[in-house]
Amino acid sequence: MNDGKQENELENGVRTLVYLDDETEPLLSHRPPVRFELDTTRLEDGEHRLRVEAYDSTGRKGVRIISFTVRNGPGIAVNGVRDNDVLEGKIPILINAYGGSGETLWEPSRAETPAPIPTWAWVLFIAIVAFGAFYGVRLWKPPLNFATTPTYGPLTLNPPQSAGLAATTGHATADAAPPTGVAGDDAALGASTYGNNCVSCHQATGKGLPGVFPPLAGNPAVTDADPTTHIKVVLNGMQGKTIGGANYTTPMPPWADQLSDAQIAAVINHERSSWGNNAPKVTAKDVAKLRAAK
Confidence of residue 155 (pLDDT cuts 50, 70, 90): very low
Higher pLDDT, 141 or 95: 95
Distance CA 79, CA 95 (A): 6
Q: What is the pLDDT of residue 250?
A: 80
Distance CA 172, CA 165 (A): 8
Distance CA 50, CA 64 (A): 8
The values of phi and psi at residue 250, to 5°, are: -65, 125
Answer positive or negative: Cα dihedral of 201, 205, 206, 211.
negative
The values of phi and psi at residue 40, to 5°, are: -75, -15
Q: Do 145 and 168 meet the contact criterion of CB atoms below 8 Å apart? A: no
Q: What is the pLDDT of residue 68?
A: 95
Higher pLDDT, 80 or 244: 80
Per-residue DSSP letters for 130-168? HHHHHHHHHT----HHHHTSTTSS---SPPPHHHHHHHH
Highest mean pLDDT among 103-117, 241-255, 265-279: 265-279
| Four-way CATH pick for 138-292: 1.10.260.40, 3.40.1010.20, 3.40.50.740, 1.10.760.10 | 1.10.760.10
The domains spanning 2-70 and 138-292 adopt the same CATH topology: no
Task: Tell the CATH superfamily of the 2-70 domain.
Answer: Immunoglobulins (2.60.40.10)
pLDDT tens digit string along 47-86?
999 999 999 988 899 999 999 999 888 878 888 888 888 9
pTM for the complete prediction?
0.40
Q: What is the pLDDT of residue 55?
A: 92
Higher pLDDT, 27 or 293: 27
Asked whether residue 198 carries a pLDDT value surpassing 60, the answer given is: yes
The HSE-up count of residue 1 (CA atoms within 13 Å, CB side) is 0
Domain spans, the chain: 2-70, 138-292
Over residues 277-285, the mean pLDDT reads 92
Asked whether residue 147 carries a pLDDT value surpassing 80, the answer given is: no
For the chain, what is the radius of gyration of the CA atoms? 42
Asked whether residue 174 carries a pLDDT value surpassing 60, the answer given is: no
Per-residue DSSP letters for 50-103? EEEEEE-TT--EEEEEEEEEE--S-EEEEES--TT----S----EEEEE--TT-
User: Which residue type, as a one-letter code, is found at position 75?
Assistant: G
Residue 195 makes CB contacts below 8 A (sequence gap 6+) with: 153, 154, 155, 156
Asked whether residue 156 carries a pLDDT value surpassing 80, the answer given is: no
